[in-house]
Amino acid sequence: MRIKHIALFAAIAAVSFSSGAAPQTTDNEVKVRAPNVKQVMMAPFMYDRVQGEYALEDGRVLQVKGKIGDGQRALYADLGDGPVELVHVGKKRFVAVDRDLSLRFQGDRIPETVFVREGDKRAVASTQR
């Protein structure tokens, strides 16, 4: 019985892996699809606590602002080039909707540190301004 389960799992994994591959064009150009992220409900106190300005070690300033409309709470991040909507994906972790940007906040009640990844760039802010 276990062998059947292992074989079934391997077959499902092989199909999932091959179907998740990015389609290739004839010009040897690869089109990459953004991964689907699952939004996680955010506690109201987290919504309030992560908002603010963070001085990043690379000299930029990260602004996290909230907006409430139609009964929905949304957070936006701005690194100086315009705000992008953030989606809460886990414990104190957020990703941008249309951009390769992720934020991870660290701290108990008020975030003490935020780790920012934008593409292949990484930056850290050790305190909130």
Residue 51 CA to residue 105 CA, distance in Å, equals 11
**Res 9: pLDDT:** 47
Please report whether residue 18 resides in a domain: no
- Does residue 7 fall inside a structural domain? no
Query: What gap in Å lies between CA 88 and CA 102, rounded to an integer?
Result: 10
Q: Considering the domain boundaries, does residue 28 fall inside one?
A: no
Residue with tokens 């009640």: 109
Give residue 27's pLDDT.
52
Q: For the chain, what is the domain count?
A: 1
The answer to the question of residue 111 being in a domain is yes
pLDDT at position 108, please? 78
Within the chain, which residues score under 70 in pLDDT? 1-42, 44, 127-129
Q: Is 81 helix (H, G, I), strand (E, B) or coil?
A: coil
* pTM passes above 0.75: no
pLDDT confidence of residue 109: 77
Q: Is residue 14 part of a domain?
A: no
Dist CA 50 CA 28 (whole Å): 43
Identify the pLDDT of residue 28.
54
Identify whether 1 is part of a domain. Answer: no
Query: Would you put residue 71 in left (φ > 0), alpha (ψ -120 to 50) or beta?
Result: left
pLDDT of residue 39: 60
pLDDT value for 73 = 82
pLDDT value at residue 7: 47
Structure confidence at residue 100 (pLDDT): 93
